[in-house]
Structure 1
């Protein structure tokens, strides 16, 4: 049976949270404590975190999206086997945890990853205990250490920019046909031509962006393209995705069965680890082999298939965000934006520029309502009643005049 991505507990499962929290406080003793939740992949861990848990991760250069997800789950502490800032570039994650008041202990080593799932842990300074047993010791991150790490990382940013440029040229050589001519884009049944395409990535401020775009979505009815977990974000907003693009590692079974067209992002050599999952679910799909990220694939596909406008939600825009993603393939994101730049607009730009269109019939109804309100107001005054009486007499005279022209007797006076 395939692993179910939709059955994992959520951060809001309060009954389960209370049970684990009481057990942790009973067994762990004084100090910051909670049941351990362990996973080397932070994005997988956040699917089963509860408020009060201790998140145990192995995440070098903790990025902004992961940190915001940990904050949203209201964990009591974050224990990192790796360094949350390696000095490679000024990543944003540690500062976000600090602002939220969540303790972060770094460089604890592989020993901390061996703790049992649900085992009560207690944090005492830079030391982690399971009961009375010392599990590991690391470095507590505070405002001073984070600022020092950021200063060091900013000094080494030029090296990362050089590597980024080299990787960009390598990507151009490998993907020039796709970037220039769109060769390799799969045929899909969804019609893109002449429509707006809204590409949703579960990234930076995606919830706020979707909320801002409700009027735009209701009026323009763009194609909704979910990139992996972005499909679940669309469902959470009360909408239905039209297309789901990705390697299928962070999207729920519910989203895959929602009726959306599935495009499995594969490696350039054709290997598609996510294909087995959709096959096991019995979901029809097509495969798109391409280097780079799934959000790039979604944008390139929308552009090649004739979308009039591409609106991006939760995607990466700045150089720091590219590096914060932590993938060498982020050069593809930079080049993809050059390719689709004439059509691409960020969600916040849409919310600033968008104004609701008012149709002709809406204007007619508005004018009619105004005239009716004026007549009602006049009918309640002496002047208005006199005016209506004079108008009625004039109308009777006009009717009688036309009746006399055709030889009819005058109509009774009202």
Structure 2
């Protein structure tokens, strides 16, 4: 008798899991479970989304789109690969339709099966292929950046009042002036970032602004009473308990219809302040914080690097960039705070200044556009007597210096009074200029009745010989765009004219015109200059403060000549031993500019505003603490 045999099924090779599909990807992520195969339709997968997928414990990701399209080197696929997740892309729309949500599947060498039935196939993305794709994508970065720059320019025109002047940004009831503020957005790495901020939150007691769903995550960590800023989509709002427990609620729909959002808040019983602009909620939250005049803004879960900006799939990408440019050194990323706080004195007195000074480098963007008349270090806060105190330590070195200091203490304000009444002065500093001397000079301009329209700091890159071609090209473009200046001038003369025509002028208007605003943004985004304070309009006089000496003074001389050709009056100021100033004086440029040496001393700091006032009626002249050019007369 033959016994029946039982067929033992062979184990089919490959990775197994349950298919979980959904569009857009952000709505799929909450449904993912450990061991699932995520099915997405997401071109250029970004790192933040990839981190969220990794956290769910999936075994594979199948993408209808290319993981790397070639526009720029996005980091999402690499993040998934490093986590050991199998990757398949380019399945296409037809292939996507066969991958039904909840179906069991098996993946092998780029093909997807249900048992032995082949459902569809795509490209298996191994480490070598991914590396090749990312390398190719670097070549496409230039064109993507060009589009990005164009979109930024268009947005700046559309949102000029908000970004440049803070118009329409709501003032909150929650006291923030002079206090640190932490702006928190939802992000896969948020728990880690908040852990790093634990000491800062405990010791500094900052105000917290939570964007959308981040408010729920903060509540789970016992961080309550935050200001909550919401976008237009109620589906991602925190629950009613979180909203009613918020210190304040701000509705920033970002250009989308807000009727549904308003109705939702009415049902909850929350009265929200409104911020009307096309900016995304994350960007709006930063401007809202900045308008309250805080001492510092820490961003947690926000984009901070160029790749972050490019990976951000929101349509408001340009707004993200321009907003961070607007905040300048007021904004620092949360990831930088632990490293800085670990090194500070326990009293915390020096924490905010250190973070603020480092912020421009840590955030990865140039500092400078102005918002809401706010700056961490207000301009023109000094005076003649203030300059006396600042310089007194150096002036004790000799009897002459002691007598000089006493003279200025008794007579400085009288000497300066009214000399610059009604004048607007743009201050331009060269790399290495002493900040204390600059502060004393701006203070004495104010004491003389003048107004500093802002301080523009020339970056070393503008003077770098290796960057000359870039400076030349940009200068040519901006001369054409401004419609002012001479495009046939040499590189640095042309750039000097651009800066002069942008921030000053022989016949300056009462406010910046559109070409000047666009040129200012180009200079800032090109990392050639940074702006301290909010320039209030074109100036009639320009003060250039020299810094460290250069072996080749071609760039400094060219910029000075260009500025002199485009400003009503120009004064160059420097320390007593400045070789750059001596080189400028050695040129036979009568009437191009006046000069003052010895600005490290109180006499030089007083002489500079007097010489500047002289330029209104009589240009030229070399003066200083040593009396190089004789007496300053009206």
Alpha-carbon distance in 1 for matches of 2:266, 2:59: 39
Residue 103 (1) aligns with residue 86 (2): yes
Per-residue deviation, 1:287: 3.0
- Residue 231 (structure 2) pairs with residue 250 (structure 1): no
**Count of matched residue positions in the alignment of Structure 1 and Structure 2:** 333
Instruction: Indicate whether 1:124 and 2:108 are aligned.
Output: yes
**Which of 66, 72, 81 matches 1:83?**
66
1:131-280 equivalent positions in 2, closer than 5 A:
131-203=115-187, 205-240=189-224, 242-247=226-231, 248=233, 249-253=235-239, 256-257=242-243, 259-260=245-246, 261-268=248-255, 271=258, 274-280=261-267
Q: Sort the Cα spacing of 1:161 and 1:266 in 2 relative to 1 into closer, same or farther, 3 A.
A: same
**Contact conserved, 2:296 with 2:331, CA < 8 A, in 1?**
yes
Change (3 A) 1:143 1:209: same
- Secondary structure of the corresponding residue to residue 50 of structure 1: coil
| Equivalent position of 1:295 in the other structure | 282
How far off is 1:337 after superposition?
Answer: 1.4
Once the two structures are overlaid, the 10-residue window that deviates more, 280-289 or 130-139, is 280-289
Q: Which residue in the other structure is 2:339 paired with?
A: 352
- Does the 8 A contact of 2:289 with 2:297 survive in 1? yes
Structure 2: distance between partners of 1:343 and 1:257: 28
User: 2:216, 2:242 within 8 Å by CA — same for their partners in 1?
Assistant: no
Alpha carbons 1:82, 1:107 under 8 Å: kept: yes
- Report deviation, 1:50: 1.2
The structural deviation recorded for 1:135 is 2.4
Shift in CA distance, 258/108, structure 1 to aligned 2, threshold 3 Å: farther
Q: Rate the CA distance shift 1:186–1:272 in 2: closer, same or farther, 3 A.
A: farther
Q: 1:280 to 1:30 in 2, by over 3 A?
A: farther
Equivalent pair of 1:312/1:344 in contact (CA under 8 Å): yes
- The yes-or-no answer on 1:320 pairing with 2:307 is yes
Match of 2:329 among 342, 355, 372: 342
Q: 2:292 aligns with which of 302, 305, 311?
A: 305
CA 1:272–1:316 in 2, change beyond 3 Å: closer, same or farther? farther
Aligned to 2:511: none
Q: Which residue number corresponds to residue 22 of structure 1? A: none
Matched, 1:56 2:45: no
Cα 1:77–1:275 shift into 2, 3 Å:
farther
Q: Does 1:31 align with 2:8?
A: no
1:276, distance to aligned residue in structure 2 (A): 4.5
Q: Is the 8 A contact 2:228 2:243 kept in 1?
A: no
Alpha-carbon distance change, 270 to 304 in structure 1, aligned in 2, over 3 angstroms: farther
Distance in 1 (alpha carbons) for counterparts of 2:227 and 2:115: 49
Report deviation, 1:244. 1.9
Pair 146,286 (structure 1): closer, same or farther in 2 beyond 3 Å? same
Q: The residue matched to 1:36 in structure 2 has which SS?
A: strand
- Greater shift, 54-63 or 334-343, is seen at 334-343
CA contact (8 A) 1:234 1:241 kept: no
* 1:263 counterpart SS class: strand
What 5-or-longer segments of structure 1 have no aligned partner?
Answer: 1-25, 360-414
Q: Are the structure 2 counterparts of residues 102 and 211 from structure 1 closer, same or farther at C-alpha, using a change threshold of 3 Å?
A: same
Instruction: Tell me the SS of whatever aligns to 2:81.
Output: helix
Paired residues of 1:215 and 1:356 also in contact (CA < 8 A): no
Q: Residue 391 of structure 1 aligns with which residue?
A: none
User: For the structure 1 residues 98 and 243, does the alpha-carbon distance in structure 2 shift closer, same or farther, using more than 3 Å as the test?
Assistant: same
Q: Does 1:71 find its partner at 2:60?
A: no
**What CA distance in whole angstroms lies between the structure 2 residues aligned with 1:273 and 1:109?**
34
What TM-score comes out, normalization by structure 1 length?
A: 0.74
Instruction: Give SS of 1:340's match.
Output: helix
Which whole-Å deviations, capped at 9, do the CAs of 1:33-68 have from their partners, x for residues lacking one?
A: 222221112222111211111111111000000111
Pick closer, same or farther for the CA change 1:35–1:252 going to 2, 3 Å: farther
- What is the CA distance between 1:220 and its match in structure 2? 1.4
Whole-angstrom distance in 1 between the partners of 2:263 and 2:71:
35
> Structure 1 residue 263: deviation in Å?
2.0
- The secondary structure found in structure 1 opposite 2:169 is coil
**2: distance between equivalents of 1:258 and 1:130?**
49
1:120: Cα distance to partner?
1.5
Q: What is the alpha-carbon distance in structure 1 between the residues aligned to residue 257 and residue 48 of structure 2?
A: 29
So what's the TM-score if we normalise by structure 2? 0.49
Mean Cα displacement is larger for which, 43-52 or 108-117? 108-117
1:284-305: per-residue Cα shift (whole Å, max 9, x none)?
3233222232211000001112
| Runs of 4+ in structure 1 over 6 Å off | none
Deviation for aligned residue 1:193: 2.3
Distance 2:327 2:49 in 1: 27
Say if 2:23 is the partner of 1:40.
Answer: yes
In 2: Cα distance, 1:55 partner to 1:280 partner: 36
Cα separation, partners in 2 of 1:87 and 1:75, compared to 1, 3 Å: same
Equivalent position SS for 2:329: coil
> In the alignment, does 2:318 pair up with 1:331?
yes
Change in 2 beyond 3 A, CA 1:234/1:293 = same
Cα root mean square deviation, aligned: 2.5
Helix, strand or coil for the counterpart of 2:30? coil
